[in-house]
Amino acid sequence: MAKILSGKEMSEQLIQEQAVRVAQLHEQGIFPGLAVVLVGEDPASQIYVRNKGIACEKIGIHSQTIRMAEDCSQEELLDTIQKLNNDPKISGILVQLPLPKHLNEEEVLSTILPEKDVDGFHLMNVGKLSTGQTGVVPCTPKGVLYMLKQAGIDLKGKEAVIIGRSNIVGKPAATLLLNEHCTVTICHSRTQNLAEHTRRADILVAAIGKPNFVTADMVKPGAVVIDVGINRLDGKVVGDVAYEDVEKVAGWITPVPGGVGKMTISMLMENTLEAACAQAR
């Protein structure tokens, strides 16, 4: 039976540590602040944004949610971001994705100042990550790496296989694991003989968005299986991994819920604290 990599436990520990750090920063006159911009009424986005606000409250970070109408214009959105760029109370800015189709996501993300880009999606931060420089690392892959390290899993020389090549999860996760000296394979919807790749993986990351996609026969016995997926199935939240089958063969596994999702929010808090410190310097 696989050991559980609990994002819930790790994030609870992190909340306590971060609360102490925030109190220390306050004593030094540094007041971290996070602004979240939400465009439209997407129900899942509303939940994510609310959870981010709750996390800020728990550790003592000032938070602000800016709600904009579904039909707001590109100019209105860019103007809002510019104001937040110039606001000294705000150390981090996050625009909740996905945006309504009429808005240009690329332009929106590159309008956020790179030092306030706590999601790590600005091209400057993407470039820094892929060239091994210090920049802001996207929260979900950063959380995945944190979990692996926290569990003491040795990464050097290991075969890592990632299913999914999105800019927000798959690609940055691959870069981070490559930087940790894994041998990395990225799979996607056109990959042939997917299971042949996944069965080689010592570390298998599933970021697909399809419920119960990864089955036990796709997993090498003893592998570390990281389930990034968040899917709704019959009223329940499930991951991309068929948990009950895969836990019988894997060495480690992350549950959904209570796995990577929790760490994503913790890493957002981490990025906001780091941004506040960097701006104070």
Q: Footprint of ligand NDP on residues 146-165 (CB under 6 A)? A: 163-165
Binding residue (CB under 6 A) for ligand NDP from 101, 156, 190, 281? 190
DSSP of 168-198, one letter per residue? TTHHHHHHHHHHTT-EEEEE-TT-SSHHHHH
Percentage helix, strand, coil for the chain under 3-state DSSP, each rounded to 5: 45, 15, 40
CB of 162 to ligand NDP, least distance (A): 9
| Residue 96 known to be catalytic | yes
b (16+ CB within 10 A) / e for 228-244: bbbbeeeeeebbbbbbe
At 106, give phi and psi (nearest 5°). -60, -45
Q: Does 90 bind ligand NDP (CB under 6 A)?
A: no
Told to check if 215 binds ligand NDP by CB under 6 A, we report no
Q: Look up 74 and say whether it is catalytic.
A: no
The backbone torsions φ and ψ at residue 77, rounded to the nearest 5 degrees and listed phi first, read -65, -45
Minimum separation from the CB atom of position 94 to ligand NDP (A): 12
Give the count of residues interacting with ligand NDP (CB under 6 A).
25
Distance of CA 274 to the CA centre of its chain: 16
Identify which range of 29-37, 148-156, 177-185, 226-234 contacts ligand NDP by CB under 6 A: 226-234
* Catalytic, out of 116, 117, 119, 158: 119
Among candidate residues 224, 245, 169, the one with its CA nearest the CA of residue 4: 224
User: Does the footprint of ligand NDP cover residue 187 (CB under 6 A)?
Assistant: yes
Identity (one letter) of the amino acid at 114?
Answer: P
Binding ligand NDP (rule: CB under 6 A), the pick from 37, 261, 271, 274 is 261
Q: Is 52 a catalytic residue?
A: yes
The residues in 162-181 that bind ligand NDP, with binding defined as CB under 6 A, are 163-166, 168-170
- DSSP summary character for residue 248: T
One character per residue 92-131, x = contact with ligand NDP (rule: CB under 6 A): ----------------------------------------
CA distances to 44, 53, 104, 157 from 38, in Å? 11, 12, 15, 41
Residue 152 CA to its chain's centroid (Å) = 20
The correct pick among 231, 245, 277, 279 for binding ligand NDP (CB under 6 A) is: 231
Residue matched to tokens 């209570």: 258
Question: How does strand 236-238 pair with strand 231-233?
Answer: antiparallel
Contacting range for ligand NDP; rule: CB under 6 A; set: 19-27, 87-95, 122-130, 183-191: 183-191
The catalytic residue positions are 52, 96, 119
Instruction: List interacting residues with ligand NDP (CB under 6 A).
Output: 140, 163-166, 168-170, 187-191, 194, 207-210, 228-231, 260-261, 264
